[in-house]
Structures are given as structure tokens and as C-alpha cells.
A = this chain, B = another copy of it.
Amino acid sequence: MSNQLRGACIFGQSGGPTSVINASAYGVIRAALDAECITKVYGAAHGIKGVLEDKLYVMDEEDPKELELLLHTPSSELGSCRYKIADPEKDDSDYKRILEIFKKYNVRYFFYNGGNDSMDTCNKISRYMESVGYECRVMGVPKTIDNDLFGTDHCPGFASAAKYIATSCMEINKDARVYDNGMIEFGSGPDLIYLPEYDFDMDRFYADVEKIYAKNGKVLIAVSEGIHYADGSFVSEAKTSATDGFGHAQLGGLASLLASLLQQRTGAKVRGIELSLLQRCGAHLASQTDIDEAYGAGKEAVLQAVNGVSGKMVAFKRDTVDGKYVCRFVLLPLDSVANYEKKVPLEWINDEHNGLKKEFIDYVLPLIQGEPKLPLENSLPRYARLKKVLAK
């Protein structure tokens, strides 16, 4: 075939981890190991930094069974980074170094797994290699629990985080109704939901909470970490009268801050629960649909690249077959994805801006379906144990 390109590949993970980012890693690595034209499969240690520092793990050396355990291993197994690559027009030293490494290992395929910034990195590398005439196919694989990648119905990682939050919320909701004294429970839950898509207003928030508390004697509130006031400042950094003197946003975070404010105002027992890292690494509650799609996106990137595609990100298109949810792969130009941010459609948020409509549930429910068969050891998770042999 005319578009057959022989050479090694590098795969890297970037940005904040998710419960299923390693499923995409497995999709890429497995498909690359199986591709005849890919001569060697390298995993970059800590994303693009591993390329710049010549720290590449040889995936061919790994036990295939351990690699398969990546399907259920949370976090970024190869390590991640938040390194922002310069514009090649301003400073091309990073690109020269990347080209040097690519040449050293005869790298002809580059797969990068991440969010908006990572797609930007991917895009810049793709264009640079083209500009210097170095033949290399560059593909992006999406991930983010924030679900904010442009052009894709949803992002791998989002559904498992949503499932973790929904399940934890149901459990907390049970717990919050135990005593018959009043209680305001903070965390993720059903009575009130605040998202950053609309400006946050503290007085309106108090009114919302007090209305439900007066009626039910219990309120369960879910807030997004990113909520902000009309002037754009984050609520989590707010210095209100109640926090002045001791308010140090770092100490506790948003849920604690709002819990403290509500407690002072209402006198009720208020508990702030931060899902923190737990929601992005809770692999034991992952959605099998999410795992399958994350794996599929990685595999698809390799298959497309082997077939001659470059400069694209694998995206998801929602379809319905016989009334059932189906996810299809589509390819988006990297530069259409890079640096754009998708939001929750405003029409899915209720008129009071404190809850989500059925449309959101209809959107998210198919994505969280299915329970993985978790590999366990002594009833605790058994994660992949990679040798991580460095390339010489």
C-alpha cells in the first residue's frame, strides 16, 4: 500500500488523570503492538516531558497480561505532565528536540492522550513535523472528567466520574436522612445543583437552601468547583464578610467554605464533602461503557494512523440503533479541538439555575452503564505492574 509507513511509535499521557485514561493507553499500546508496520512501541514517561528528556519505556518488553490490567488501573500509568509547549514561531527549541528524538528512534507515529491543551500540543507537533518534511502521523486521543472537549459528544473519563459522583451522592443522601434533627448536607446531590455555566449569586443560593430546608429539614447540595460570581471571580476564592479574618480558600476548599457560611447563617448542622481526587481515580466504580469507549478511542487512533490518517483527534458521535445508545468514532482536525471549551448546554439547566433537567439525565445515563469485572487480589484492586524498561 502506498500509505504504508514503517517505524516506531510513541504514546504519551497528559493532563489530569481519569479512571479510564489507562484503558485508552491499553487501546493504543495493544493496537500498536499488533500493527505490523509499527516496529517498536514506546511509552513516554510523563507525557511530552518524557520525549524531551529521552525517557521512553519500551512497551514491547511488558507482560501482555499486565498490560491488559491497564483497563482497570486508574490514573496515568506512564505519568503525566502539564507542560505547555511554546509556539514554534516564537521558540522552536522543544520541537527541534522532539524531532531529534523522533529521528533517534525512527518514530513515525505519535499518539497523545489528553484534554484541550494536549490536543494543542499534538496539533503543534503535527504541523511542525509537516513543516520540516519529517513524515510522522500524529493522532490525539481525548480524555477529561470535565467533559469540555469541543466536537465530541462526550469525553472518556467523564462517565466514570459521573457514576462515582452519582453513586456517592446516593449513599450520602441515605446517610443524611438518618437523624431527625435538621441537617444540610454538602457534596454532590439532588436537591440543588450549581454549575459554572451560570453566574453564582450568594443571596440567591441562601434563599434556595433556606426554602428547601424549611420544607424538608434536609438539603443536599452539589456544587461544581468552578462556580464563579458575575465578575468572574471564583466562589472558592471569595473573601466574604464571614470568611474575612480566617478565610483561607486553600484550607478546605469550596464545599467547606460554603458549609461554613451556611452553618453561620442557619445554625443547622452542615457538612462539606469534597470528592476531590476520589472522583477522578475511582476505578472501582468505573462505567464499563466508558472503559470500552476509552479503549476503543485509543485503538481507533492507531488503526487510522496506520491507514494514513494524521492530524486528527478521535471523537465520539452518539447514535441510536433499535432505540439503544451506540457510540461511533469520528475524526476531528486537531486544530478544531485545541483550546476550545465545551459547556453544558444552557437548555439542560433549569430556570432557577439550581438544577438539571431530564435532558441531562437522558444524555448521561447511557454513558454510565455497565460494571467492569475488576481484577482483585485479597478483595482489593489488582492494578497493572509494569516493568517500565527504559529505551537506550
Residues of A within 8 A of B (CB): 16-17, 45-46, 49, 73-76, 79-82, 163, 166-168, 170-172, 174-180, 185, 187, 245-248, 250-253, 256-257, 260, 263, 271-274, 276-278, 280-285, 287, 365, 368-371, 376, 378-381, 383
Bound CA span A283–B80, Å: 32
**Beyond A75-B177, A174-B281, 12 additional pairs, beta carbon < 8 A:** A75-B171, A75-B175, A79-B177, A82-B179, A170-B381, A171-B278, A172-B277, A175-B281, A251-B257, A365-B378, A371-B376, A371-B379
Copies per complex? 2
Closest-CB distance, A112 to chain B (whole angstroms): 16
Q: How far is the CA of A260 from the CA of B246 in the complex (A)?
A: 13
Residues on B with C-beta less than 8 A from A256 are: 251-253, 256
Asked whether A284 lies within 8 Å of B281 as measured between CB atoms, the reply is no
- Asked if B278 contacts A273 (CB within 8 A), the reply is yes
What are some 29 contacts across the A-B interface (CB < 8 A)? Answer: A17-B178, A45-B180, A49-B180, A73-B174, A74-B174, A79-B180, A80-B179, A82-B179, A163-B380, A166-B380, A167-B284, A168-B278, A171-B281, A171-B381, A172-B281, A174-B383, A175-B277, A245-B246, A251-B252, A256-B256, A271-B276, A273-B274, A273-B276, A274-B274, A284-B284, A284-B285, A365-B378, A371-B376, A371-B379
Bound CA–CA A49/B74 (angstroms) = 45
Measured CA separation A260–B253 after assembly (Å): 11
Main secondary structure on A side of the interface with B: loop
Interface centre among A73, A253, A280 (most CB of B within 10 A): A253
Q: Smallest Cβ distance from A54 to chain B, in angstroms? A: 14
Q: Which of B82, B174, B263, B271 contacts A75 (CB 8 A)?
A: B174
A16, A251, A257, most chain B CB atoms within 10 A: A251
Once bound together, how far apart are the Cα atoms of A81 and B277, in whole Å? 32
Residue from the list B46, B163, B171, B253 in contact with A252, Cβ < 8 A: B253
Which residue of the partner chain B has the closest CB to A384? B174
Q: Given the complex, which residues of B lie within 8 Å of A73, measured CB to CB? A: 174
Nearest CB of B to A109, in Å: 24
Whether A369 contacts B378 in the complex (CB less than 8 A), given A175-B75, A246-B248, comes out as yes
* Contact A175 to B17, CB < 8 A, known contacts A248-B246, A379-B368: yes
- Say yes or no: B171 contacts A74, CB within 8 Å: yes
Q: Which residue of B lies closest to A289 (CB)?
A: B379
Q: How far is A16 from B176 in the complex, measured between Cα atoms in Å?
A: 11
Taking the closest CB of chain B, its distance from the CB of A292, in whole angstroms, is 13
A171 to B378, CA, bound (A): 16
In the complex, the chain B residue whose C-beta lies closest to that of A285 is B284
Residues in B with CB closer than 8 Å to A285 are: 284
Q: Which residues of B contact A252 (CB under 8 A)?
A: 251-253, 256, 272
A170 to B282: give the CA distance in the assembly, Å. Answer: 10
Question: A167 to chain B: closest CB distance in Å?
Answer: 6
Given contacts A273-B276, A274-B274, contact A283 B171 (CB under 8 A): yes
Which of B16, B81, B178, B273 is within 8 Å of A79, CB to CB? B178
Question: What 10 pairs across the A-B complex have the smallest Cβ distances?
Answer: A252-B252, A246-B246, A75-B174, A171-B281, A175-B281, A252-B256, A75-B175, A80-B178, A369-B379, A251-B260
Complex Cα distance, B178 from A180, in Å, reads 43
A381 to B173 CA separation, bound complex (whole angstroms): 12
Contact A368 B380 (CB under 8 A): yes
- Chain B residue nearest to A275 (CB atoms) is B278
Q: State whether A370 touches B379 (Cβ < 8 A).
A: yes
A81 to B248 CA separation, bound complex (whole angstroms): 34
